[in-house]
Amino acid sequence: MTRLFLTILTFGALMSSQAFAFCGFYVSKADTKLFNKASKVVLARADDRTVITMANDFQGDAKDFAIVVPVPSVITKSQVNVAENRIIDHLDAYTAPRLVEYFDSNPCQQMHMEMMMRAATLSDGGANESVMGLAKRAKSLGVTIEEEYTVGEYDIVVLSAKQSDGLLTFLNQEGYKLPEGAEKVLGSYIKQDMKFFLAKVNLDAFEKSGFTYLRPLQVAYEHKKFMLPIRLGTLNASGPQDIILFTLTKKGRVEPSNYRTVKIPSNENVPLFVENEFGEFYKSMFDTAVEQEDMKAMFLEYAWDMGWCDPCAADPLANEDLKTLGVWWLNAPAAKQPGPVPLPGQPRIMPVPQGGQDVFVTRLHARYTAETFPEDIALQETSDRENFQGRYVMQHPYTGVAECSGADDYYAQLPERFEKEAKYLANITGWDINDIRSKMQKNGQSFDMKAKKDPRPWWERLWANGDDE
Amino acid sequence: MYRIAINLKDARYYQIATLGLLFVFQLIFSDFGSDLKVLSVTLFGAILGQYCAQKYFSLPVLDLKSPLITSLSLTLLLKTNFIWIYFLAALLAMASKFLIRIGNKHIFNPANIAIVALLLIAPYYVWISPGQWGSAVWFGFGLMCFAGLVLGHATRIDTALFFLTSYVGLLLGRALWLGDPLDIAMHQMQSGALLIFTFFMITDPKTTPDHRFGRFLFTFAVALIGFSLQFSFQIREGLFYALAIVCIIRPIIDWLLVHERFEWVTHKQKP
């Protein structure tokens, strides 16, 4: 029985406006210069059974799409599936950094209310030849075509090779334009007993599928190896690229064992205007964090039990979606859509009873180059079930009428609070503090807010029963 | 009546200082580090274990250095969401030191065996994070560890060198065989856990062979087994298991290669 030994690739996209995901290793059929900037990958894993889902945000012409993914051993047709973008988008939204808002109550009557803002979801978003001839040509180069099939809109070929130069020649003949330096990396994977998973788009099947986008490719395998092979993907990168890795595991948080894990800044008050530019905020914050770590760390953006959330940026995933993503250990009767849907303005979202049992979701985000991440990312599942989320708080000052001695104290401490928010924001985003202050002034956070007094004389308020009207 | 003796020639003071600094560093810079509460609980467990054992075996001088080094190592390496596990780990470590012995030498490095035991019996509660130190820290820390050994006149500096040479040799060999850039081997070396392992676990003179050639065999075996566990079996904690395994056969090496036994320089021995 074949033991899978999947070396996944690196894909996934985010943030970057020109995000093509699936960046693991773009190879273009045409000479179009393709860049890989960001990728989204979901890994569901327990007891060595792994399903990798690679989001495909490829923006170019479908006929130009082609990837090479090193895999541990032959992947047969039944081990490959295509999923829908919807599920990854949902997981992305569920784990996305979130902005929450609180309203200060009238300082004269203490009461808090919390509102939840829906988090900004960051992601924006050949001619057939006879099989015989192909196999013959491959064989002469020391390359064996182990499997060849079509799944969904993808034509897939699984290769094994003895020599990297033969493999390179074969891939070049097949029209895969391999970046410089690929031969060494291919050679390294060959020596590690890897096979190569090639996917191109079958245009007829794509047309028939009726989809306007390329769906995520999924591969299931069972192997001890728990890692993300990023090396091929760094070869044709024109600069740093991002990867967002979502993992679904049984025990707890997943972390890289050969790179540092750092939590993104979280749980602090930010100025109110951040609401209008949350995407920009998050991008700058991430840029700054990456810079502070010299681009050598992976950032933890979310770690939570899939059964609930607080606050929920999106509903937890339904059991059937989790199963599609590869959560094979979910045997409980399939609950339909879990729990009540939180609405803006609702108070805290309480744990949802059903949802994913024993499913812990981790969202890791890295920006890397071949220099800063020279080695494939080795992953390990820890027993850590501590929750973490990227959560930013907008705290609205009270703007109504407040007349009591406490009101003056309340307004006296506001400038200090606003200043603290401004400094924090400047610190984590690298934005100019004066710009921040002036934006705050314009967005309901004036640094000289005073208690609003009722302009009417006291006796009018005594008998203000609306008589005049 | 217990006495606490201090002798600055004892390498363990430098070890404690180095580990202490690393503890402070991770306190400030690591998001997944251990705090003072964790250290206190571990220390309490270790000292309690040491005290009870010394009382039971009627040993006169309360040794605080060994519990401190063990506690700091455990605090830096072992991760868990449950603080009582640190207490348990410290007790296990100290118990192993006094109870699992052959020929007046304990078999296992206390922190190492506690970590291995917990990884095996409680995999749902504990883990270790080998990748939590950046490279700048790694170099600084490595230098300090080395300086500590030299300053402390430790006779076992060869153990650290043997081990590092073997292990790094294997990493480089692998990179060369695969045709990988040496950056990869360099990157694999830059693990804080590897340094703690090298300078505070495998170098423990009480659990390494007395004969120099024995120490070479011992460290090479640890490097080879650890390397295989990591790269062939994908066990990230490979080195820790490897040390525990090789410690079991250490008495055989001592039996085959007889040499004067190591004793820590602590205080003037009474005639």
Contacts of A422 (CB under 8 A, 6+ apart): A271, A433, A436, A437, A440
Do B127 and A380 lie within an 8 Å CB cutoff?
yes
Do B183 and A294 lie within an 8 Å CB cutoff?
no
Beta bridge partner(s), residue A245:
A41, A364
Decide: helix, strand or coil at residue A146.
strand
* Residues of chain B neighbouring A386 (CB-CB closer than 8 A): 81
Distance (Å, rounded) from C-alpha A313 to C-alpha A109? Answer: 30
Tokens of B77: 């390496």
Tens digit of each residue's pLDDT (9 = 90 or more) over A150-163: 999 899 999 999 88
Tens digit of each residue's pLDDT (9 = 90 or more) over B209-224: 888 888 899 999 999 9
Decide: helix, strand or coil at residue B151.
helix
Per-residue confidence at A121, pLDDT binned at 50, 70, 90? very low
Q: What is the average pLDDT across A313-331?
A: 87
Beta bridge partner(s), residue A368:
A241
Distance (Å, rounded) from C-alpha B120 to C-alpha B233? Answer: 16
Q: Read off the DSSP letter of residue A26.
A: B
- The interface pTM score, or ipTM, of the predicted complex is 0.87
Beta carbons of B14 and B151 less than 8 angstroms apart? yes
Interface test with B, best of A186, A253, A375 (most B CBs within 10 A): A375
Distance (Å, rounded) from C-alpha A265 to C-alpha A263? Answer: 6
Answer whether residue A29 shows pLDDT above 50.
no
Tens digit of each residue's pLDDT (9 = 90 or more) over A199-225: 888 888 888 888 878 889 999 999 998
Answer whether residue A391 shows pLDDT above 80.
yes
> How large is the C-alpha radius of gyration of chain A?
26
The alpha carbon of residue B211 is apart from the nearest alpha carbon of chain A, in Å, by 34
Do B180 and A188 lie within an 8 Å CB cutoff?
yes
Beta bridge partner(s), residue A115:
A101
The alpha carbon of residue B185 is apart from the nearest alpha carbon of chain A, in Å, by 9
Distance (Å, rounded) from C-alpha A12 to C-alpha A14? Answer: 7
Beta carbons of A344 and A99 less than 8 angstroms apart? no
Inter-chain Cβ pairs, chain A and chain B, closer than 8 A: 80
Beta carbons of A47 and A81 less than 8 angstroms apart? no
Is B129 at the interface with chain A, CB within 8 A?
A: yes
Contacts of A110 (CB under 8 A, 6+ apart): none
Do B178 and A296 lie within an 8 Å CB cutoff?
no
Is B50 at the interface with chain A, CB within 8 A?
A: no
Tokens of A59: 């923006």
Do A380 and B233 lie within an 8 Å CB cutoff?
no
Mark which residues 9-38 of B lie under 8 Å from A by CB.
31-32
- Give the number of other Cβ atoms within 10 Å of residue A466's Cβ: 5
Of the two residues B269 and A51, the one the predictor is more confident about is A51
The alpha carbon of residue B175 is apart from the nearest alpha carbon of chain A, in Å, by 9
Angle, alpha carbons A351-A355-A358 (nearest 5°): 95
Answer whether residue A111 shows pLDDT above 50.
no
Interface test with A, best of B127, B171, B230 (most A CBs within 10 A): B127
Do A375 and B178 lie within an 8 Å CB cutoff?
no
Tokens of A462: 């005594």
Is B232 at the interface with chain A, CB within 8 A?
A: no
Is B123 at the interface with chain A, CB within 8 A?
A: yes
Do A261 and B129 lie within an 8 Å CB cutoff?
yes
The alpha carbon of residue A248 is apart from the nearest alpha carbon of chain B, in Å, by 16
In degrees rounded to 5, what are phi and psi of residue A196? -125, 125
pLDDT in tens, chain B (271 residues): 444 455 656 777 888 888 888 889 888 888 888 889 999 999 999 999 998 988 888 887 778 888 999 999 999 999 999 999 999 999 999 999 888 888 778 889 999 999 999 999 999 999 998 887 766 667 777 777 777 766 665 567 888 889 999 999 999 999 999 999 998 998 888 887 888 888 888 888 788 888 888 889 999 999 999 999 999 999 999 999 999 999 998 888 888 877 766 666 554 443 3
Q: Write down the pLDDT at residue A46.
A: 92
Q: Write down the pLDDT at residue A37.
A: 63
Q: Where are the alpha helices (DSSP H) in A141-214?
A: 164-173, 182-191, 203-209
Which residue, A352, A255, A369, is CA-closest to A311? A352
Question: How far from B170 is each of A93, B129, B200, B226, CA to CA, in Å?
Answer: 44, 22, 21, 10
Is B114 at the interface with chain A, CB within 8 A?
A: no
The alpha carbon of residue B234 is apart from the nearest alpha carbon of chain A, in Å, by 6
Answer whether residue A179 shows pLDDT above 50.
yes
Decide: helix, strand or coil at residue B259.
coil
Decide: helix, strand or coil at residue A197.
strand
Nearest C-alpha in A relative to B178: A188
